[in-house]
Structure 1
Amino acid sequence: MRVGSRAGRAVLVSPDATAVIDLATASGGRFGPDPRDVFDAWDEVVRWHATADVDYPAHGDGVELAELDAPSPAPRQVFAIGLNYRDHVVESGLTLPEAPTVFTKFVGSFAGPVGDLVLAGETVDWEAELVVVIGRAARDVAIEDAWSHVAGLTVGQDFSERTVQLAGPAPQFSLGKSFAGFAPQGPWLVTPDELADRDRIPIACTVNGRTVQSSSTGQLVFSVPALVAHLSSVLELFPGDVIFTGTPAGVGGARKPPWFLAEGDVVETTIGGIGSLRQVCVQAT
C-alpha cells in the first residue's frame, strides 16, 4: 500500500504510482481526511485496504508530485539519527557509536517531494535518508517486534547548513538542519511488505546528475528495528511520528575540498522501491 498527503488530505497512491485518490472519498468517509487521523487508525486502514476495491481509473487523479506534501506532514515527534551508516562514520573520521546519536528536525522544515530549496547560507549540504513513519504506538518495544509498529517508509533529505550546525561551543544540529524546506519527504509512504528486502534498500543521491551518494540500508549501524526499540525505551512513539534514519557516505562537507550546494544545483534523492525527491537550489531573496 502507498499513502501520501495532498493539500492536507490523505491520499492513496495506485500500485503503479500513476494515480492518487482521496482516502476519505475512497473509504466513504471512514478514514481521513487528516493524515494524522489516518495514522492513528493505521491498523484499521490496513485491514480495510486489504479487501477494498479502489477504482483508480474511474475516481483517481493523475500523480502531480508538486502537489504532494510529506506523507506525515504534522507528526507529534520527529527524530533524526546521526552517524548511522558505517561508510559515513569512516568518512567522518570517527568511531562507530555504541548507541544511536539522536537529534530532531523541526516540523517547520518539512516539505513535499519536489520544489525549490532556498539556500540558507553558503555551506548547505545534502544527506539522503530513509525515513520511517510510525503506525502503532510503541513503548519498550523489542527489536523482534519493531517492524510491526512501522506504518511505512519514505524518501527524505536532511539538508544541513553546516556553519550553523557546527557553531560552538555546543553544536546546533537541530537548528542547522531545520531551515524552511530542509526536510523534504515523499513522494509517498510505502508499507514494508511492498519492498523486496526491507533491511537492504538501495539509497542514492545525485547533484546535477553526478552520483554523490550510493549505498544500502544494509550499511546501517542501527537498523530500523533497533532504532524503534531504542527510542521506545526512552519515550513513547506515537502514530505518525517520523524518524530520519541517517545518511551514507558522500556528503559534501566531508570532501576535500568541501563541496556545498549553489544556486541552480539540482538534488535528486532515490530509494529503491519507494521513489525520488527533486529539489532545485535557489538563493534567498
Structure 2
Amino acid sequence: MKRTRTPFAITFSVWRAAFLREALDRLFEGRAAWLWLLIEPIIYIGVHAFGFTTFHIHQVGGMGINMFIIAGFTGFLLWRRTWTQVLHGIDSNRAFFAYRQVKPFDVAIVRATLELFLMVPVSIVIMSLAIMAGHGMTLNTQNPIWLPQDPLLVMAAVLALWLLGLGLGLVTSVAMRFVPEIDHIFKILYLPLYYMSGALLPLSVYVPEPYQYILVANPVVDGVELMRLGFFSGYVGLKGVSLAYIYAWALGLILLGLMLYKRFSRKLVMR
C-alpha cells in the first residue's frame, strides 16, 4: 500500500532541504565565507570603538563603550541580515519553485531561521573575545560585570528584532518583485541605518531629550536599546522604549507579508 505523507511532513522536508542548501551556500560559497560572517561585525565594532576612545569617550549611559557598541550592533546586524536575506530569497531560489512543494514563504522562513542560527554563535564569539580582552559592561574594576544581567530581556529583544527583520523582508520582497529598482534605494539606506538606529552612535547623547520620542518611533531603535538594557541594567539610554511596541510592529509586518504572499503567490514564482 502506498504511504502518503501529511502536509506537515512535506513542509518539514522542504524546510530541511532548503536549510541545508542555504547553509552550504552561506558558509562555503567562497573561500573562507564563514569567516567573513565574523570579520564584518568585528571590523565595524573595532573601528568605531577605536574612534570613540580616541576622543576620550569611554562609556555611554554608564555602560563601557566597547560593550555599548557590541550589544547594540549585534542586535542591529541580526535585524538587517534577516531582512536582506528574506528580501532576496525569492530571486535567489526562483529555480526551485518549479517544484510545487516549494513556496516563496518556505524560502523566507528558512533564510530567516538560518540567519538566527548564524548570528547567535557569531555574537557569542564576539562577546567572548571582548571579555577575554578585559572589556566589561562597566568601567568599574572593583566590581566588574562580564555577563548580561537580564538574559531574558536580551533573548526577548533578539527574538523581536529577528521577527521584525522577517516581517520587513516579507513585505519588501513583494514590493521589489513589482519594482526591482527599489533594491537600489535599500542599498543606499544600509549605511545610514547603522547610525539612525543607534547601533554605532549613542543617540541619547547626540539628540536632545525633547526630540528623542521621534527616534523611539523606530522599532529597531527600541530593540537596540533594550539589548543594551538587558546586558547592563544600569544603562541609561533613550526613554520610552517598549518591547511590546517592537512585537506589535513585527506581528503587523508578518501578517501583512503573509497576505501579500497569498495574494501574489503566482506572480512571485513567475520569471
TM-score by length of 1: 0.27
Could you say which structure has the higher helix fraction? 2
Decide which structure has the larger Cα Rg and report it: 2
TM-score by length of 2: 0.28
